[in-house]
């Protein structure tokens, strides 16, 4: 079973009555447990591709399958539930809820789903990500690197089919960037977790199992 399978994906937008093709007949497969980097110039379509894989945007044509489940024909409610259960997101700006502790941010997807918290797994990933001592701190008391680690733990807590990371090191210094990417890659290998990361940083991209390059809406 493929973690992700994309078939003949096209995405077009209307801009001042002009049609812009952001993705042009893209097909792609990502294996379970694979750590891939999606790279390309600004406007190449890489973030649009990630958003469509994650169900945050819909294609104009084509289909996306997450572990053989077609997601493009789902209703918004069905897609919202599916995302919560099967897709973890890591964003450049962390997107932590400021009034919740690190621990509460991490377990939030489980609370929204009404699922019991596996405290052993929380402790395991917190220990691995080196944030165990920060669990009861508020986000504004953490460094950028610590906040991103909390965001990664939140993305992993549901044991999703795939984790999607959009420029997750964009707000970090060089050392923090290397540490965060190393942790995500190691976690992928340790737990057979599929990860797709969008980045413009070649130093980060070469750490991936495979690099997917996009130019003018097409995979090279």
Mean pLDDT of the chain: 92
The confidence score (pLDDT) of residue 183 equals: 85
104-113 pLDDT per residue, tens? 999 999 999 9
pTM for the model: 0.92
- Checking if the pLDDT of 15 tops 80, the result is no
The confidence score (pLDDT) of residue 179 equals: 85
For residue 16, tell me if it sits in a domain: yes
Q: Where are the alpha helices (H) located in the chain, listed in sequence order?
A: 46-53, 76-86, 102-113, 119-128, 144-156, 174-191, 202-205
Model confidence band, residue 169 (pLDDT cutoffs 50, 70, 90):
confident
- Checking if the pLDDT of 189 tops 80, the result is yes
For residue 220, tell me if it sits in a domain: no
- Please report, for the domain that includes residue 54, its CATH number: 3.40.50.300
What's the mean pLDDT in 156-184?
88
118-136 pLDDT per residue, tens? 999 999 999 989 999 999 9
The confidence score (pLDDT) of residue 200 equals: 85
Give the structural domain span for 186.
2-211
CA 179/CA 207 separation, integer angstroms: 12
- Checking if the pLDDT of 98 tops 90, the result is yes
Count up the domains in the chain and report the number.
Answer: 1
For residue 216, tell me if it sits in a domain: no
- Checking if the pLDDT of 164 tops 90, the result is yes
- Checking if the pLDDT of 197 tops 90, the result is yes
* Angle, helix 144-156 to helix 174-191, in steps of 10 degrees: 20
CA 44/CA 38 separation, integer angstroms: 11
24-68 pLDDT per residue, tens? 999 999 999 999 999 998 888 999 999 999 999 999 999 999 999
Please report, rounded to a whole number, the percentage of residues in the chain having pLDDT higher than 70: 100
Residue 11, helix vs strand vs coil: strand
Residues 120, 115, 50, CA angle at the centre, nearest 5°?
Answer: 90
């Amino acid at each position: 079973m493929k973690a992700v399978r994309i078939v003949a994906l096209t995405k077009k937008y209307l801009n001042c009555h002009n049609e812009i093709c952001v993705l042009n007949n893209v097909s792609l497969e990502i294996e379970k447990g694979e750590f891939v980097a999606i790279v390309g110039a600004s406007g190449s379509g890489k973030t649009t591709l990630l958003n469509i894989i994650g169900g945050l945007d819909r294609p104009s044509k084509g289909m996306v399958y997450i572990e053989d489940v077609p997601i493009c024909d789902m209703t918004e409610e069905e897609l919202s539930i599916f995302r919560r259960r099967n897709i973890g997101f890591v964003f450049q700006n962390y997107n932590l809820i400021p009034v919740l502790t690190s621990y509460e941010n991490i377990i939030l997807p489980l609370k929204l789903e009404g699922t019991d918290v596996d405290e052993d797994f929380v402790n395991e990933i917190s220990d691995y990500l080196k944030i165990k001592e920060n669990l009861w701190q508020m986000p504004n008391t953490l460094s950028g690197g610590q906040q991103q680690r909390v965001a990664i733990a939140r993305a992993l807590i549901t044991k999703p089919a795939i984790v999607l990371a959009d420029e997750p090191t964009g707000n970090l210094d060089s050392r923090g960037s290397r540490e965060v990417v190393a942790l995500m890659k190691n976690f992928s290998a340790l737990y057979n977790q599929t990860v797709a990361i969008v980045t413009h940083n070649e130093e980060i991209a070469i750490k991936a199992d495979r690099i997917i390059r996009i130019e003018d809406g097409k995979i090279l």
